[in-house]
Structure 1
Amino acid sequence: MASNSLETRYSSSAAVSEGNAVKFHVAGCAYFWAVSEALLTAKDSVWILGWWLSPEVYLRRPPSENQQYRLDRMLQAAAKRGVKVNIVVFKEVKEIMILASRHTKRALESLHPNISVFRYPTHIENAQDILSSARSIFESVGAGYAADVDHISDRTLQTLFGMVGGPTLLWTHHEKLVIVDQHVAFLGGIDLSYGRWDPIQHPIADAHCDNGDQIIFPGQDYNNGRVMDFKDVANWERNELLRRDTSRMGWEDISLSVTGPVLADICQYFVDRWNFIHRRKYNSGLPCLRRYKPLPPPKPYIRRVDEPAGSMSCQLHSIYNAYLDIIDKSEHFVYIEQQFFITATDQSPGPIWNRVGDALAARIVRAAREQKRYKVVVVLPAVPAFAGDLQSPIAGKPPRALMKLQYDSISRAEFSVFEILQKQGINPDEYISFFNLRSYDRINMATPEKPDNVVNLFGFQIPIPQFRARNARPRNSNWDSVSSCYMFGDDDIRNVPWPDASVPDIDAFVSEELYVHSKLLIADDKVVVCASANLNDRSLKGSRDSEMGLVVEGGDVLATTMHGQPFQASKFAATLRRYLYRKHLGLLIPQDMRNPDGHFMPAPVPDDYDHGSKEDQLVADPLSDEFLQHWNDVAHTNTAAFRKVFAPVPDDSVKSWLEYDELFWKRFIGPDGFHFGQWGHVQKSNFSDGDEGVKQVKEELSKIRGTLVEMPLQFLVNSNIQIEDLGYDIITRQGYV
């Protein structure tokens, strides 16, 4: 571990470490490429710690041009060079999760003796009985029978939700860590798995009628978690999601790469986990791993915070401590990009333990009293990634419950962040705002596919006629996706051709939420927290999921302004924040997956960022009137355009379940009665027929810049989004949040 002479912060097991090189990788395209660069040059060791690892995932795209860059093949090639590959994957309960860790172990270990895979933890023997009991109760609730939470014993709930010591059913090892040659490490929010690779323009269409070699997302890598979950991922080539009818869901995520003295602690973290599992579970002939060997330092100032390795009964919450301290000490702004926002204030009586919400409210109250400009910006997913209609009695319950917890955390509960501020006479809108991300694309619908069936949005199995190949004219596959049209410097959607007259252009446009999986906090353009930890109790409490991350500050100074005044920022923190803001506003050029730039390279290779450009200057000062006006205008314009073209939910226009039903009937009931409508496609009733309607749709879409949209805080505000019945209490009582 680190020397005791160095400062330890946030009750972390690691000390402050200086003289490191760190860089960010936004979205999976750049991150996966950076990992592949490190694997290509591996000479001694590859260590991977993962919640989900898919052996057949491609680190470079398109797959047809990069067969050797499939993860399993890269690990095999490294093993053949004499590299020792050690991997720890979370061993899931297969009745709950679809991670296929057994397949991961068998597939990789069969490739070469130098590859060793541990699965952990080993779950309790009566797990299946407990799950069967819980499932019966869930089904009775879904069928409408009266039930009470007392029907489930505390022992069952505690086991189910991990409140007894030792291995558990639902708490996980959630870290995402890759270490190559004990010299460079990758960590943050991105799993080496299906559904994570994505360029910054986030295409959600990938159908190619004239050239299958252009497919970017093969098999189950083409996924939409709102329509159907992954299935039987060991047979990853088989995908029931029709790519010619249904969009994928884009994936927003962030990870870091780092070199330097901090590798000592990061490597020790992996060594401790590996050796703990080795002794506890396997006790095989495999040798224990050797400790880290010191390396010469490169450059910024970094500290690492991590959660317990090996034992889930240990309660370390250094990431949580970091959040509280950084928010409290922030002077100008906090930017949070997170998969969840489930938190509480000191007055909150509910089941939520963490008080990040209270820290935010307290900091805003202080700013209001001092009459200083202070902003909190939070970017979240619009809907948790569960398949099915929100109104479904069974499938809709998990997302509804989580949405209720989030809305209660933000504004709807008596002790929410907004309510605390309003009781102090403060208008929350002046200090804190919430946003989602959304994208659109156009599917080449002339692409033949032959699945036997597909599960539609509402959970029904419906027959799909085998597609009969049309005499489609060859077309330019450059326009098999148009997601780049809302990015900087690319074509205007109004001018993009549609050469296949056999399919109506208007039927090809699709939209979906851009799912935010990031676990990021930036404060004052000076400090960054990037971790595997979500903003909820599962990740922050310390006795549940195990997590790790980095707190990065210092390093090179960037002279800039803050609210119009001269300001000395951290170049790393400011550049990451500016990059993300420009991405969300459509002020970055689309990524070319075939031509890597500096963002595709691991540390210490510097980033290619255009400081001083017109687009950079627009986002440089996060508190300037000009920037704030532009940010809010883009979010508002994008929201209105998406609402008119696609009528997505959630939306502020849908304030009750009655209005939700009206939207449902409008989309799914036609002149001929009930039909399975195309959710995510154009709301054609809002437009004229024929070519004029297409022109109107393109005119609206041309207004969209980037992916930023307003979070609909009024969605179902006049209804109870989720009744606090047994199903809800199962999620909250033991803190599955």
Structure 2
Amino acid sequence: MVLLHGILDVTIHEGKDLPMSIANQATSFVKRVLCCNQLPELAGSVDPYVCLDVGSTRRLRSSICQSTNDPVWNERVEVYVADEAEELRIEVKDADIVGAEYMGQASIPVEMIIGGKLFDKWLKLEDQMGKPIGITEKVSRRWTPSKVRVSIKYIPVGSEETASLGLHEVPRVYFPQRPGNKVTLYHDSVCTPGPVPGIALAGGGLYSESSCWDDVYAAIQQAKRFIWITGWAVWHKTKLLRVPDRGEDSPSIGELLKQKAAEGVNVLMLVWDDTTNNMGLHSGLMATHDQETLEYFKGSDVTCLLCPRQGGMEETVLQKFSTGNMFTHHQKTIILDAPMQSSSTAASPAAAAAAGAAAGPPACDPATLEHLSTPNSSSKKAGGKAGVFSSSEAAEPPRRVVAFIGGLDLTDGRYDRHDHPLFETLADGHVHCGDLYQPSVNAFDATKYCCRQPWHDIHAKVEGPAAMDICLNFMERWAKQAGASNVAKMRHLDDHKDIHLPKGFEVFTSKASMLKSKLAHGGVTVKHETIRQQDPSLRLTDLPAGEDWSVQLFRSIDSDSAEGFPKGGHSYDAGLTVGKGKAIEASIHSAYINLIRRAKRYLYLENQYFLGSAHLWDSDTDTPCYNQVPAEIALKIVSKIKAGEPFRVYIVTPLHPEGPPTAGSVQAILYFEAQTRNMMYKRVAAAIREAGLDAHPQDYLQFFCLGKREGYETSPGLMSWSSDLQPATSFKTMSSTKSGSFKMPADSAAGAAAADAAECVDSNGVVLEQGPTCLPPADPANTVQGKCTASRRFMIYVHSKLMIVDDEYILLGSANINQRSLEGSRDSEICIGACQAGHTMASAAAPLPRGQVAGFRKALWLEHIGALGPEHDDPSRLECMQALRATGDANWQAFVHPDVQPLLQGHLLNYPNSVGYDGSVGPLPDCEEFPDLGGKILGVKNAVLPGLLTT
């Protein structure tokens, strides 16, 4: 086997004399007439497309040429490869309404493409037995071979042309990198804003944190023109501000959006439609509250649309079913207008060349939040009708576009702090009363006491030119998914004379373009040439030189979900691929690959899932999970070991996927994740042996998870159970007697009766809809809920989608590291990559830069490990890896200890599997299942659930 690690520059040119066998025609007839009740195709008609397999992995599909035996494609695609193969296989198929018919294949030995040679040939097709395929002319009876022409050039890693690119810019993707932005980074939904002691930046100041949902709330309150939201889940009852001491609760997100829409703000929402709602499951399998939120906004000025993930016309019946029922719209964005502020004033065209910008905005102060928490009673514009604006807008102060992007949905369970409490915030008057989110406990009973599932996530605010790209993503999706009756509700931004827009933006929003696209039942006609242009007037200029951010937007999305993808030669420039007639953008996958290949010292990743590169696993290599991120990481480590250079990789995932870990779907994902880790560690181990080093694979690559364990002091009044998990004989009374406290009687019989009537109420005596009673779980020794409550431990659910490279670049958004998120034609996703030109490896005086990315990484680690030392300054050093692993091991021992005890330092846990010197992954001794919850830590292969669902 030859390792192909680099890029295949492939052009599918054309085909000649492609066959249509009698057997294929008969099969097509049966499928169309008997299975799908459709008319048969014309005799001899074929709809050919071409596939490229590298080894056993399908890496490319061309478009479909309709009804021709002599197709012309002329499609050029870049294919990233990290594959072991002896040959490439070109396969030609005939598209059909159900599946596709095999037409022929040709093989290209790997030796013919390596060494920088351009392969450009006509390939004669053969059948699967190696017999030549062709057609026989009816008159002359002359036999002519069937053939296709392809061109392939292999570009190994390190040989790519990068001279024309910006710092870490990813080439040939839809959106270019844009300088002159401000980026605010958030970990978790809320925090105490302000400087973080001990985290010094290059300029001498301290890194300062901001609170995400406080900033989101303030931004929504300040919006005057539009608020556009995309979400996997949006629950109208979610409250962004929860300050128990305020005495006056803030409005929910639903109330807030209704209020803004009533003021004349254009409020549009694209929320994923969980189609299991339509199968008699009212709440849906994913419990996203989509139907509940839709009903809430009906009849209001808010336009809330539920969008299923739909397949295209070119897909087969089975593919459409899979797309609609297995895949989702997973983007999480909020785009709105905001006032121009002194720290983010846009440059005039004349001053744009002197661009500088963002170091992280100051957080909204408590006094401002207190003012904003009171609903604004300002009247609607122009007589109160939503969508009508007065002519005085042009005289108002200029406004700008701001966007929030990341992993946080506006729904239940996401509100969390850096300390991730389990019990103490569930009582009346605390921030999680009414928000007891616990989807991972089997047979969970919300009327009984239990810990909540803590939530850890990463989010960002973008100001500057890149915010317009996030805005354009919404416009493309709205134009495609809103339907003809709703597309006009997206107000034209250029109607607002006070919003500063980029040059040429009228291409996207002019009424002529809208009319033209309406005729095609679409929305905005997007011209990619305009997207590629840079408008210096949007750059932020009044912050210190070198502190501005260069930001690039990446997506996983296809033309079934977004309007206006370019075609022809522009498709290649935009990095689009084609799959059976649809255009596919998989630039998030491209970003991961490019950034990993360019990394010099270390990688730090947090992700909800981590599985991929199945083509390199020891077994189950046909699993439909061939994204290259795990392989690229392993090969990067291997290359650094061979070069004798320091390099470490830190990966944080949840202890297990969300849901009871005994569930078949969770076990299947755990099995695939274990296969992924095993593949990576074995390649690292082989490189260590080859280099003759005295080292262990975990010296270079370490997986972690996060957990929390509390003592009983965090829940005054909660009974403690004895070591055998049997209920105590009496209850204690809470010391607090204010309204809303749980009253606990002195005997268990009375306690059971009182607990049935116990309610969580606010300070005004209003009964909240959800709140745990003081009744202990029934039979706590034999129920998962009882065990979790007694042991007072639970994982912190890592929902982040984050990669930090060398303390100089950060990638974050909604995409997981699995095939669903990275393929482009499964779940729709969105991410940003960002760096500061003034804080790079090249410009750093120390081994690593010390800009905002470095400050954020250290603040994140401070949350996870509780304290920072000099050993944490350079993650590429072995001392850093050893320190984190020691912390993770000590915390894991406390996490699984039979006695209830808080973790020693922070929340970081080593992932509970063993890794041998040969890289083999196995269970820890006496710990094959998850504590309290059960289920194999290394998972179990599922023979029932389709791989498309669990990968």
Q: Is this a same-fold pair by TM over 0.5?
A: yes
Give 2:622's aligned residue.
350
Q: Against the structure 1 CA distance between its residues 518 and 86, is the aligned structure 2 distance closer, same or farther, given a 3 Å change threshold?
A: same
CA–CA distance in 1 between the matches of 2:421 and 2:406? 23
Contact 2:178/2:465 (CA < 8 Å) preserved in 1?
Answer: yes
Give 1:175's aligned residue.
331
Q: 2:413 aligns with which of 195, 199, 203?
A: 195
Q: 2:907 aligns with which of 707, 718, 733?
A: 707
CA–CA distance in 1 between the matches of 2:736 and 2:860? 37
Deviations 1:450-488 (A, max 9, x none): xxxxxxxxxxxxxxx9x99965432899x99xxxxxxxx
Give 2:270's aligned residue.
88
1:706 CA drift (Å): 0.6
1:187 CA drift (Å): 0.3
1:335 CA drift (Å): 0.5
State how 1:597-676 maps to structure 2 within 5 Å.
615=868, 617=870, 619-624=872-877, 626-645=879-898
1:87 CA drift (Å): 0.9
CA–CA distance in 2 between the matches of 1:539 and 1:397? 21
Give 1:297's aligned residue.
539
Q: Against the structure 1 CA distance between its residues 160 and 275, is the aligned structure 2 distance closer, same or farther, given a 3 Å change threshold?
A: closer
Q: Against the structure 1 CA distance between its residues 373 and 196, is the aligned structure 2 distance closer, same or farther, given a 3 Å change threshold?
A: same
Give 1:306's aligned residue.
555
Larger Rg: 2
Q: 1:519 aligns with which of 798, 801, 805?
A: 801
Contact 1:343/1:535 (CA < 8 Å) preserved in 2?
Answer: yes
Contact 2:872/2:880 (CA < 8 Å) preserved in 1?
Answer: yes
Give 1:24's aligned residue.
185
Give 1:419's aligned residue.
682
Q: Against the structure 1 CA distance between its residues 423 and 509, is the aligned structure 2 distance closer, same or farther, given a 3 Å change threshold?
A: closer
1:92 CA drift (Å): 1.0
Contact 1:224/1:248 (CA < 8 Å) preserved in 2?
Answer: yes
Q: Against the structure 1 CA distance between its residues 203 and 366, is the aligned structure 2 distance closer, same or farther, given a 3 Å change threshold?
A: same
CA–CA distance in 1 between the matches of 2:628 and 2:698? 21
Give 1:249's aligned residue.
453
Q: Does 1:429 align with 2:682?
A: no
Q: Does 1:340 align with 2:602?
A: no
Q: 2:229 aligns with which of 38, 42, 48?
A: 48
1:424 CA drift (Å): 3.5
Q: Which fold has the larger relative contact order, with Cα–Cα distance below 8 Å and residues 6 or more apart in sequence?
A: 1
Amino acid of the structure 2 residue aligned with 1:422: A
State how 1:545-556 maps to structure 2 within 5 Å.
545-556=827-838
Give 1:581's aligned residue.
861
Q: Does 1:278 align with 2:461?
A: no
Amino acid of the structure 1 residue aligned with 2:669: L
Give 1:216's aligned residue.
431
Q: TM-score, normalised by structure 2?
A: 0.53
Unaligned runs of 5+ in 1: 125-153, 163-167, 230-238, 391-395, 449-464, 481-499, 588-614, 646-686, 688-696
Contact 2:808/2:853 (CA < 8 Å) preserved in 1?
Answer: yes
Amino acid of the structure 2 residue aligned with 1:15: P
CA–CA distance in 1 between the matches of 2:584 and 2:558? 11
Q: Against the structure 1 CA distance between its residues 155 and 329, is the aligned structure 2 distance closer, same or farther, given a 3 Å change threshold?
A: same
Q: Against the structure 1 CA distance between its residues 444 and 724, is the aligned structure 2 distance closer, same or farther, given a 3 Å change threshold?
A: closer
Contact 1:6/1:15 (CA < 8 Å) preserved in 2?
Answer: no
Q: 1:107 aligns with which of 273, 276, 296?
A: 296
Moved more, 566-575 or 530-539: 566-575
Contact 1:520/1:530 (CA < 8 Å) preserved in 2?
Answer: yes
Aligned length, in residue pairs: 549
Contact 2:266/2:491 (CA < 8 Å) preserved in 1?
Answer: no
Q: Does 1:35 align with 2:255?
A: no
Q: Against the structure 1 CA distance between its residues 42 and 640, is the aligned structure 2 distance closer, same or farther, given a 3 Å change threshold?
A: same
Give 1:684's aligned residue.
none
1:554 CA drift (Å): 2.3
CA–CA distance in 2 between the matches of 1:208 and 1:170? 34
State how 1:432-447 maps to structure 2 within 5 Å.
432-441=701-710, 442=712, 444=715, 446=717
Deviations 1:35-93 (A, max 9, x none): 00101211111110111001110101146745334211221222233211111111111
Q: Does 1:77 align with 2:259?
A: yes
1:252 CA drift (Å): 0.7
Amino acid of the structure 1 residue aligned with 2:852: F
CA–CA distance in 1 between the matches of 2:296 and 2:290? 10
> What is the DSSP-based 3-state SS (H/G/I as helix, E as strand, rest coil) of the residue aligned with 1:621?
coil
Q: Against the structure 1 CA distance between its residues 287 and 705, is the aligned structure 2 distance closer, same or farther, given a 3 Å change threshold?
A: closer
The answer to which structure has the higher helix fraction is: 1
1:283 CA drift (Å): 5.0
Q: Does 1:400 align with 2:600?
A: no
The answer to which structure has the higher strand fraction is: 2
State how 1:110-129 maps to structure 2 within 5 Å.
110=299, 112-113=300-301, 115-121=302-308
Q: 2:658 aligns with which of 385, 405, 412?
A: 385
Amino acid of the structure 1 residue aligned with 2:308: P
Amino acid of the structure 2 residue aligned with 1:192: L
CA–CA distance in 2 between the matches of 1:207 and 1:19? 41
> What is the DSSP-based 3-state SS (H/G/I as helix, E as strand, rest coil) of the residue aligned with 2:606?
strand
Unaligned runs of 5+ in 2: 1-163, 191-210, 338-399, 495-499, 503-536, 541-547, 562-581, 690-695, 720-726, 743-773, 777-786, 915-921, 929-935
Moved more, 23-32 or 282-291: 282-291
> What is the DSSP-based 3-state SS (H/G/I as helix, E as strand, rest coil) of the residue aligned with 1:307?
strand
Give 1:315's aligned residue.
584
CA–CA distance in 1 between the matches of 2:425 and 2:807? 40
CA–CA distance in 1 between the matches of 2:877 and 2:165? 38
Give 1:569's aligned residue.
849
Give 2:350's aligned residue.
none
CA–CA distance in 1 between the matches of 2:828 and 2:821? 7
Contact 2:425/2:433 (CA < 8 Å) preserved in 1?
Answer: no
Q: TM-score, normalised by structure 1?
A: 0.68
CA–CA distance in 2 between the matches of 1:225 and 1:323? 30
Q: Against the structure 1 CA distance between its residues 334 and 66, is the aligned structure 2 distance closer, same or farther, given a 3 Å change threshold?
A: farther
Q: Does 1:736 align with 2:921?
A: no
Q: Does 1:532 align with 2:532?
A: no
